[in-house]
Homo-oligomer: A and B are copies of this chain.
Amino acid sequence: MDIDRFLSDRSRLMKASEIRELLKWVNENVISFGGGMPDPSSFPVKEIMEITRDVLSAKAEKALQYGTTGGILELKEELAKFMGKVGIKINGPEDIIITVGSQEALDIIGRLFINPGDYIITESPTYLAALQAFRIYGPRMVGIPMDSEGVRVDLLEEAVRKIINDGGKLKFIYVVPTGQNPTGITMSDERRKALLDVASRYDLAIVEDDPYGYIYFGDDEPPARLKAMDSEGRVIYLSTFSKIAAPGLRLGWVAASSEVIRWFELAKQSIDLHTSTLNQYIAAELLRRGVIEKNIPRTKEIYRSKRDLMLQALSEYMPSGVSWTRPSAGMFIWLTTPERIDTGEMLGTAIKKYGVAYVPGKSFYPNEERHNDMRLNFTYPTPQQIFEGIKRLALVIAEYLNA
């Protein structure tokens, strides 16, 4: 049976990532900075074991049964307290929905809001998997350049005005304000205020994707969440247990007005009925018993020391003309080579000849053609791999610069 003739037009928008194809070459002799995985030593394994035992002893008939689409009340109540500590105030559990990682929230956002031809605005570059999630709903994506303080809100306002003048429908602005994926940049307080101000003046919705905010490891205080500064209910806030506990639980959440959450529930019901009840009970206990609060400083320390190592290795080995970011949060350093290098083209050599892998920058741009950046993950590789890998990366870049 020929499956192609049954496919929807939508399916043609789903592309196997070229990067994934190349990363298949990665074997045990290759040091990979290509992934986006946390350090497994940050997982609270013993506590998850104890909690699972306790949950199954006390309420297996609930924890193994179907649950409501929005998520279990215990978890939503714990999350309300957890977010409260960083200044996010919500009205109650009806302002939260539990999702299968934040990825599911991104898909639901596309599903709920995007008609083909609608506009959305993102940072440029931005999170690759958000682009993938939104893309299949057919939006026009406008990427706004960033500098060291985050997205250029002045350029963003210009873009908003242009879209409105052209009669376009702007559905939302998507940002990862803290430890952005892929750049590692954290948006400054001023920019956050300016962004909310633009949203207010033009009556816009903001999607704040905050996977890394709770693991801020900079020396200064982390800036406030957009959601905490939002007095007009414009911010749809996304976060995840993947970095504060463990990705394998596949748990994320959304905080927004109860009206928005009801739409999320309607959408989620037909996607997967609800998120794993067992995992939700585990997460509720991880919060209630303070495991996550105790785990966060430990995780910050791991991330900070690995970031420092990578920064040290970079300054030690990189040829001149190469620059990179110094993240205070997140899992990535963004490296920019001189213009004459195409990092996508170079990846094959990096993997096969030098035994080092990264993600070329190109795929992170919604609608620009930039070819000389790359994303480096510093949380998963070991300290030794970080040093050795950056050394190898410097060699391949040097080879291409001298070619």
Contacts and interface: CB of A to CB of B under 8 A. Distances in A.
Interface of A: 1, 3, 6-11, 14-16, 35-38, 40, 43, 45, 48-49, 52-53, 56-57, 60-67, 99-101, 103-104, 106-107, 111-115, 118, 129, 132-133, 135-137, 171-172, 203, 205, 232-234, 242, 246-250, 257, 259-260, 262-263, 266-267, 269-279
24 contacts: A3-B260, A7-B112, A8-B115, A8-B118, A11-B113, A11-B263, A14-B263, A15-B266, A16-B262, A36-B66, A43-B65, A45-B56, A45-B60, A49-B56, A64-B248, A99-B272, A100-B276, A101-B273, A103-B271, A103-B272, A136-B270, A247-B277, A248-B277, A250-B273
Contacts of A278: 246, 248-249, 279
A3 B259 contact: yes
A15 to B, nearest CB: 8
A14 B113 CA distance: 13
A30 B169 CA distance: 48
Given A52-B52, A103-B273, A273-B101, A10 B248 contact: no
Given A9-B115, A263-B11, A276-B249, A271 B40 contact: no
Given A3-B260, A112-B11, A277-B248, A272 B65 contact: no
Contacts of A266: 11, 14-16
B1 A232 contact: yes
A250 B270 contact: no
A113 B5 CA distance: 9
B61 A43 contact: yes
B45 A49 contact: no
Nearest to A60: B45
Contacts of A279: 276, 278-279
Nearest to A134: B270
B40 A49 contact: no
A276 B53 CA distance: 18
Contacts of A260: 3
A64 B52 contact: no
A64 B272 contact: no
Contact of A40 (B9, B60, B259, B267): B60
Nearest to A170: B6
A262 B56 CA distance: 35
Contact of A37 (B48, B66, B118, B271): B66
A54 to B, nearest CB: 10
Contacts of A1: 203, 205, 232-234, 257
A56 B43 CA distance: 11
The 4 lowest CB-CB distance pairs between A and B, nearest first, are: A64-B246, A248-B277, A40-B61, A64-B248
B49 A64 contact: no
B37 A114 contact: no
